[in-house]
Amino acid sequence: MVIGMVPVLVFIAGSLAFVFNPALAANKLFLLFVILAVYWSATYLNLRGMKTSGRISTACFLCGVLLPGLLIIILGIVYLLSGNPVQLNLSLSEANFVPDFASISNIVLLAGFIFVFIGIEVSAGHANEVKNPQRDYPIAIFVAGLLLFFINVIGAMAVAIVVPQSKISLNAGLMVAFTDFFAAFHISWLVPIIAFLVAFGAIGQISTWILGPIKGLQVSAQSGNLPPILQKVNKNGIPQNLLILQASLVSVFGLLFAIVPGVNNAYWMLLTLTILVYLVMSILMFMAAIRLRYSKPEVQRAYKIPGGKVGMWLVSGVGLLTVLFIMFVDFFPPKQVPVGNTAQYVATLGVGIIIMVLIPLIIYHFKKSSWQSGKN
């Protein structure tokens, strides 16, 4: 997520630009300043413990995600019913319901949509805390997925109905939509307020992702897979050195973002690389699930996929095929985002994924027995 945090931070910066000056959304120096300031501030707050992190995430979701999301959907409906010009073709035709598979670049943007759902599986670490995980946890995941789908799909349609495609920006598109919405209703003074709330909501996402994966990495570190210096925790039980290392890496990727020409190009490339790295983890997860059903069938788990081995192969098999398909299309640049040289684009993604996969393998190869927690 050290890569994936940069696109989210860029979105925060693009939203905050509308609080001060919308032109700043395309200013790389402003974007870099916000990236560094927000991430290091959130890292500091997360060093204070899980309770602080949880409270921040909850407040940010309610004020900065749910409220603006519902507002843009409601305004989109009002805009449509008021007879205003519609920028999206809403005719009930085959072309509007069935994607054009003649060119694979038309479906590449599906990978960006997948990013919305990345991380929902992290909640599995809390399955043991649910009263009846076998029944309640799948229901919770279904509700969360449905809510995400509703807000993002219907919200995106609302944006497309009001804002011409040529004016949509990947890092500030939502605020462009709000600007046009409020101008149509003669309440443009609300733009800076909503911009701040949207940025506040995204900061909550950052806060959640700062500590969540690190807590998992901490377990791996204490098992001897990382040196003792990265196992150190503070008085709140937070692995402080891992958090600082993570923030440093995010800063490096933020600098790389500032170097790559074009805001949209750099944004999409970082987003795509994040998804590719994340999907590698998903492949390992599905394969591990199948293997454990054979090697450790007697272990009692908080949640177990029903249907025996057939059920496991069905669920994990569909997951593997989906992941492999998304990884394949990820290497094709979308025609909606001009990435320049296609060969260079593919090579950059290829080298990036190889480096990110090799790093843990190299660390694992050179690990020492003295790294295991409790040993000198």
Provide the pLDDT for residue 247. Answer: 93
Q: Measuring CA to CA, which residue among 36, 7, 342 is closest to residue 169?
A: 7
Instruction: Give the separation between CA 148 and CA 61, rounded to whole angstroms.
Output: 12
**Element spanning 62, H or E:** none
DSSP 229-290: GGT---TTS--HHHHHHHHHHHHHHHHHHHHSSSHHHHHHHHHHHHHHHHHHHHHHHHHHHH
> Which parts of the chain sit beneath pLDDT 70?
49-54, 57, 99-116, 118-119, 121-129, 167-174, 177, 261-267, 302, 335-340, 373-376
Q: What is the pLDDT of residue 174?
A: 66
SS3 content of the chain, % helix, strand, coil (to 5): 75, 0, 25
* Gap between the Cα atoms of 159 and 278, Å rounded: 28
Copy the structure tokens of residue 77. Answer: 């409906």
Q: How far apart are CA 279 and CA 286, in angstroms?
A: 10
Locate 223 and state its tokens. 């098992």
Please state the φ and ψ torsions of residue 233, each to the nearest 5 degrees: -120, 155
Structure-block tokens of residue 172: 């500030």
First-to-final CA distance of the chain: 31
At residue 87, the pLDDT reads: 78
Distance from C-alpha of 30 to C-alpha of 141, rounded to nearest angstrom: 37
Helix (H, G, I), strand (E, B) or coil at 164: coil
Name residue 361's amino acid: L
Does residue 221 contact residue 233 with C-beta atoms inside 8 Å? Answer: no
Residue environment code for 62-79, b if the CB has 16+ CB neighbours within 10 A, otherwise e: ebbbebbbebbbebbeeb
| Domains and their CATH numbers in the chain | 5-371 (1.20.1740.10)
Note if the pTM is more than 0.85.
Answer: no
Enter the tokens of residue 34. Answer: 């916000």
Rounded Cα–Cα distance for residues 156 and 227 (Å): 45
Tell me the C-alpha to C-alpha distance, in Å, between residue 304 and each of 64, 126, 205, 298.
35, 15, 29, 11
Burial 307-319 (b: 16+ CB within 10 A, else e): eeeeebbebbeeb
In three-state secondary structure terms, 109 is coil
Please count the other Cβ atoms lying within 10 Å of the Cβ belonging to residue 25. Answer: 23
* Helix or strand run (H / E) with residue 48: none
Sign of CA dihedral 27, 30, 36, 39: negative
- The whole-number pLDDT of residue 376 equals 44
Element (H, E) at 181: helix 173-184
